[in-house]
């Protein structure tokens, strides 16, 4: 496993990390999740990504159980705040009140005294930037979090947070967490990457396999137990379009020639970007985790010619 610095901070994260969304507490029960986390840790993963909304807090609780017995100092644990998790008009968003209540709940769920990374899950137009940056600075000074960041914010919103922090002598964000994969790359490459590079903000990117579609598992239908087969995930089924599947078939041919799997190709393609500190993967089974961990080696052997072939397979296709 290789480790990369998170932006200009001194924190090092494994270039492949593991997240708990959809899996822990939904598809994966506690014993299986514990196995996944232990295996990930054994293989060198140090960064584990969570959010207060995942499985209504259950994912954080499972993470807390799984890390019992592991050295806390060796782990980089995150959570996120923004979505509705508490009753009342103030039970969501990025106000000082909700952020403070949500961090307390996350710490309790995970049984830890601090989080290494704390993400604002989305931008909140109802909270003044100064209130948010002051709240994050306070949480850092109280020792409840070590670094803070944003997720799926526009480049100008990240710049605003950074500017407000500099203006008032507060602590700026260290990390942004956007969706980034072979299909969904334009927004990140055109605006977030240049801005984050300039500001020294690291990227931890999510959904590298486009919910599994880039693995090729949906090329001939929807396998039982997969994310697209889950009742509440009709929006994933909607993404399995003939156009995308045709591209995945072409990418599969490139992967076959390189003697790697389509999943490894998709993750290796992200790892080649130096702006990315960590690719946050998801796995519902140990075999998936092991396969995805092989991307690190695949990336080391990826040549410019291979990258050209990948872009040729994508053609003009790209989403936001």
Residues tagged active-site: 54
Q: What is the spatial distance between Cα 134 and Cα 271, in angstroms, rounded to a whole number?
A: 33
Q: Which is nearer to ligand NAP, 167 or 221 (CB)?
A: 221
CB of 312 to ligand NAP, least distance (A): 23
Q: Which is nearer to ligand NAP, 91 or 294 (CB)?
A: 294
Q: Which is nearer to ligand NAP, 174 or 177 (CB)?
A: 177
Q: What is the spatial distance between Cα 144 and Cα 107, in angstroms, rounded to a whole number?
A: 8
User: Going along 251-310, which residue ranges are E strands?
Assistant: 276-281
Instruction: Report yes or no: 19 and 282 within 8 Å, Cβ to Cβ.
Output: yes
CB of 50 to ligand NAP, least distance (A): 7
Closest CB to ligand NAP: residue number? 19
Please report the DSSP string for 31-74 in residue order.
HHHHHHHHHHHHTT--EEE--TTGGGGHHHHHHHHHTTTS-GGG
CB of 199 to ligand NAP, least distance (A): 19
Instruction: Report yes or no: 178 and 184 within 8 Å, Cβ to Cβ.
Output: no
User: Going along 53-174, which residue ranges are E strands?
Assistant: 76-81, 115-120, 145-151
Contacting residues toward ligand NAP, per CB under 6 A:
19-23, 27, 49, 121, 151-152, 177, 206-212, 215, 217, 226-227, 263, 280-284, 288, 291-292
Q: Which is nearer to ligand NAP, 95 or 207 (CB)?
A: 207
Q: What is the spatial distance between Cα 36 and Cα 28, in angstroms, rounded to a whole number?
A: 10
Nearest to 172 by CA among 191, 193, 195: 195
CB of 206 to ligand NAP, least distance (A): 3
Q: What is the spatial distance between Cα 145 and Cα 117, in angstroms, rounded to a whole number?
A: 6
CB of 19 to ligand NAP, least distance (A): 2
Q: Which is nearer to ligand NAP, 122 or 130 (CB)?
A: 122
């Amino acid at each position: 496993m290789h480790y990369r610095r998170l932006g200009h901070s001194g924190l090092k994260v494994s270039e492949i990390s593991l997240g708990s969304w959809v899996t822990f507490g939904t598809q994966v029960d506690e014993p299986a999740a514990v196995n996944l986390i232990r295996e990930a840790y054994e293989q060198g993963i140090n960064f584990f990504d969570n959010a207060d909304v995942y499985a209504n807090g259950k994912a954080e609780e499972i993470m807390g159980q799984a890390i019992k017995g592991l050295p806390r100092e060796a782990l980089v644990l995150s959570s996120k705040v923004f979505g509705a998790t508490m009753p009342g008009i103030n039970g969501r968003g990025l106000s000082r009140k909700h952020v403070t209540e949500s961090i307390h709940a996350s710490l309790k769920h995970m049984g830890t005294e601090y989080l290494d990374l704390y993400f604002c899950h989305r931008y909140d137009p109802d909270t003044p930037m100064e209130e948010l940056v002051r709240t994050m600075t306070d949480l850092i000074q109280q020792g409840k979090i070590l670094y803070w960041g944003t997720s799926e914010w526009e480049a100008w919103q990240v710049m605003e947070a950074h500017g407000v922090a500099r203006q008032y002598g507060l602590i700026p964000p260290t990390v942004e967490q956007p969706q980034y994969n072979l299909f969904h790359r334009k927004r990140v490459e055109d605006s977030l990457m240049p801005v984050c590079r300039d500001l020294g903000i690291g990227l931890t990117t999510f959904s590298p396999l486009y919910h599994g579609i880039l693995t090729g598992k949906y090329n001939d239908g929807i396998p039982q137990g997969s994310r697209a087969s889950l009742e509440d995930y009709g929006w994933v089924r909607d993404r399995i379009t003939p156009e995308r599947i045709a591209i995945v078939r072409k990418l599969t041919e490139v992967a076959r020639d390189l003697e790697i799997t389509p999943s490894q190709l998709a993750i290796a393609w992200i790892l080649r970007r130096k702006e990315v500190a960590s690719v946050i993967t998801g796995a519902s089974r140990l075999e998936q985790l092991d396969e995805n961990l092989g991307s690190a080696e695949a990336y080391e052997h990826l040549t410019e010619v291979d990258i050209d072939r990948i872009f040729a397979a994508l053609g003009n296709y790209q989403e936001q």
